[in-house]
């Protein structure tokens, strides 16, 4: 490992060796290597990626690890330390998306995520299928990314699979290409209509930085975000609730945004400039569009502006100044995009009342996690205030941890 010049934290290294041991127990051979891909929180830019807009995620220290070895018999075997049911064995040639009769595409099964990545790589003509046999792999996963908490455990699982195969078969894919293949796997194989943010964050983030991504042309820039040097902390508060509304509401929001863009004659809401927002809203109202549609548009247009504002303030070295922009972003998610919930709202109000610099929900909404920007010296008191507010409201205790801006996917 050190020979490759990688810097591995102790816990990464310990977990990597455990993954090697578990791989040997499960498959009876040695893996060829161990790879890691992180979960993420989104600093700002919610529901903007599928509107061709801006997002700004950072990678968490929490990672999904994969110990992996190639196979030459066209068989894919996957096993997760977090999923019951043991090893799932699939034939690469039989992989087919959700809703079709092929193997691995049933929506409920976790194996659809890694299988979808192999399907996307095969579909792109990237996996070798030569005289010495069709490509396959044995994969053992173990993850510290909480699942279903809005922290992108699914993207971490996809990206670590893609990176392992990229290295095992020397495919030479760039991180951005890996992200796109993983998004295709989740959209077309698993059947989840997500944007490009989560996979790009997991594949492309850099330690000590947030990633400014233009979801239209996929250009990206690492923006310095060194919280410790500023005496600041970013807390993640996992509310531990997931409200059922999530899936259908996401589809409804996408549909509303696309309909509004059509009505306005633009390719995507990204193309509505903040200066033209009032005129655009008037035009939508004149065309008989519902007030809720107008509010969805206002969220997307103002949210893109907030991402640019956060980038400008970070570029100027004024990290504390992003606090109010985060809180404004929460109000927009709550009031205009209507994707918050009582638990997320309580994190934001209780944290801000206790002296946080700013706070907002992060991720798709309807539960999951919120982020809180605080002075390091106030972090404990603010965390305690949020926990007490939850107890007072009769909610289960939230899980609170610090988001250290961490590295993207890598070989260990």
In terms of CB distance, is 149 or 173 closer to ligand ADP? Answer: 149
Which of Mg ion, ligand ADP, none lies near 64, with the C-beta cut-off 5 to 8 A by kind?
Answer: ligand ADP
141 counts as binding ligand ADP under rule CB under 6 A? yes
In terms of CB distance, is 141 or 225 closer to ligand ADP? Answer: 141
**How close are the terminal C-alpha atoms of the chain, in Å?**
7
Read off the DSSP letter of residue 78.
E
Which member of 42, 48, 51, 154 binds ligand ADP (CB under 6 A)? 154
Spatial separation of the C-alpha atoms in residues 70 and 31, rounded to whole Å: 8
The answer to whether 238 and 396 are in contact (CB under 8 A) is no
Spatial separation of the C-alpha atoms in residues 24 and 165, rounded to whole Å: 19
What residues from 324 to 363 belong to the interface with ligand ADP (CB under 6 A)? Answer: none
User: Number of H helices and number of E strands within the chain?
Assistant: 11, 15
Q: Burial of 401 by CB count in 10 Å (0-12 exposed, 13-18 middle, 19+ buried)?
A: middle
Which member of 26, 32, 75, 83 binds ligand ADP (CB under 6 A)? 83
Three-class secondary structure of residue 351 per DSSP:
helix
50 counts as binding ligand ADP under rule CB under 6 A? no
Ramachandran class of 363: left when φ > 0, alpha when ψ lies in -120 to 50, beta otherwise = left
Q: Is 198 a catalytic residue?
A: yes
- Least distance in angstroms from the C-beta of 246 to ligand ADP: 9
Which member of 50, 113, 212, 337 binds ligand ADP (CB under 6 A)? 113
Is 186 flagged in the annotation as binding? yes
- Write down the H helix ranges in 106-196: 112-123, 153-168, 175-184
- Least distance in angstroms from the C-beta of 359 to Mg ion: 22
Strands of the 57-71 sheet, one edge to the other: 88-91, 75-80, 136-143, 57-71, 33-42, 410-411
Three-class secondary structure of residue 265 per DSSP:
coil
281 counts as binding ligand ADP under rule CB under 6 A? no
Which of Mg ion, ligand ADP, none lies near 143, with the C-beta cut-off 5 to 8 A by kind?
Answer: ligand ADP
Give the residues across from 88 on adjacent strands. Answer: 78
Which of Mg ion, ligand ADP, none lies near 147, with the C-beta cut-off 5 to 8 A by kind?
Answer: ligand ADP
- Taking Cα atoms as reference points, which of 364, 335, 332, 330 lies closest to residue 349? 330
Compose the 10-49 pattern: x for residues touching ligand ADP by CB under 6 A, - for all others. ----------------------------------------
150 counts as binding ligand ADP under rule CB under 6 A? yes
The string of DSSP letters for 131-148 reads TTEE-EEEEEEEE-SPTT
Residue position matching structure tokens 């193309």: 271
Is 153 flagged in the annotation as binding? yes
147 counts as binding ligand ADP under rule CB under 6 A? yes
Helix (H) or strand (E) holding 69: strand 57-71
Which of Mg ion, ligand ADP, none lies near 141, with the C-beta cut-off 5 to 8 A by kind?
Answer: ligand ADP
In terms of CB distance, is 281 or 370 closer to ligand ADP? Answer: 370
In terms of CB distance, is 39 or 383 closer to ligand ADP? Answer: 39
Residues in the chain, overall count:
412
Is 14 flagged in the annotation as binding? no
Name the segment binding ligand ADP (CB under 6 A); options: 152-160, 286-294, 296-304, 320-328.
Answer: 152-160
Which of Mg ion, ligand ADP, none lies near 92, with the C-beta cut-off 5 to 8 A by kind?
Answer: none
- Taking Cα atoms as reference points, which of 258, 48, 272 lies closest to residue 282? 272
- Least distance in angstroms from the C-beta of 341 to ligand ADP: 15
The answer to whether 32 and 168 are in contact (CB under 8 A) is yes
User: Where does this chain bind Mg ion (CB under 5 A)?
Assistant: 154
Positions at the binding site for ATP: 80, 148-154
Positions at the binding site: 46-49, 80, 148-154, 186, 250
Contact positions toward ligand ADP, by CB under 6 A?
Answer: 64, 80, 82-83, 110, 113, 141, 143, 147-154, 157
Q: Which residues are catalytic?
A: 198
């Amino acid at each position: 490992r050190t020979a490759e010049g990688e810097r591995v934290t102790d816990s990464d290294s310990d977990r990597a060796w455990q993954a090697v041991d578990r791989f040997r127990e499960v498959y009876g051979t040695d893996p060829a290597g161990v790879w890691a891909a992180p979960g993420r929180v989104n600093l700002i830019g919610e529901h903007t990626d599928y509107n061709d807009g801006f997002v700004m995620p950072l990678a968490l220290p929490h990672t999904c690890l994969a110990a992996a070895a190639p196979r030459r018999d066209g068989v894919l075997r996957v096993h997760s330390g977090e999923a019951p049911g043991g090893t799932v064995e699939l034939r690469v040639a039989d992989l087919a998306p959700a809703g079709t009769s092929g193997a691995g595409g049933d929506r409920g099964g976790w194996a659809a995520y890694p299988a979808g990545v192999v399907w996307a790589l095969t579909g792109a003509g990237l996996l070798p299928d030569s005289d010495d046999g069709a490509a396959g792999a044995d994969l053992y996963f173990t993850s510290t990314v909480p699942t279903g908490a809005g922290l992108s455990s699914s993207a971490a699982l996809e990206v670590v699979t893609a990176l392992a195969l990229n290295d095992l078969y020397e495919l030479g894919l760039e991180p951005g290409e890996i992200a796109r293949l993983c998004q295709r796997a989740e959209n077309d194989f698993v059947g989840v209509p997500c944007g490009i943010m989560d996979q790009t964050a997991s594949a492309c983030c850099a330690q000590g930085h947030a990633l400014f991504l233009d979801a239209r042309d996929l250009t990206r820039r690492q923006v310095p975000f060194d919280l410790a040097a500023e005496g600041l902390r970013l807390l993640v508060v996992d509310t531990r609730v997931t409200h059922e509304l999530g899936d259908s509401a996401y589809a409804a929001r996408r549909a509303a945004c696309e309909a509004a863009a059509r009505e306005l004659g633009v390719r995507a809401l990204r193309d509505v400039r903040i200066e033209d927002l009032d005129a655009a809203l008037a035009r939508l109202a004149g065309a008989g569009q519902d007030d809720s549609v107008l509010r969805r548009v206002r969220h997307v247009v103002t949210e893109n502006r907030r991402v640019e504002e956060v980038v400008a303030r970070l570029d100027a070295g004024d990290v504390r100044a992003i606090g109010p922009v985060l809180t404004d972003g929460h109000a927009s998610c709550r009031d205009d995009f209507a994707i918050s919930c009582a638990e997320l709202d309580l994190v934001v109000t209780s944290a801000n009342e206790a002296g946080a610099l700013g706070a907002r929900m992060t991720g798709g909404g309807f539960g999951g996690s919120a982020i809180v920007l605080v002075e390091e010296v106030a972090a404990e008191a603010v965390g305690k205030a949020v926990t007490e507010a939850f107890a007072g409201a009769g909610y289960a205790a939230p899980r609170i941890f610090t988001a250290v801006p961490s590295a993207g996917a890598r070989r260990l």
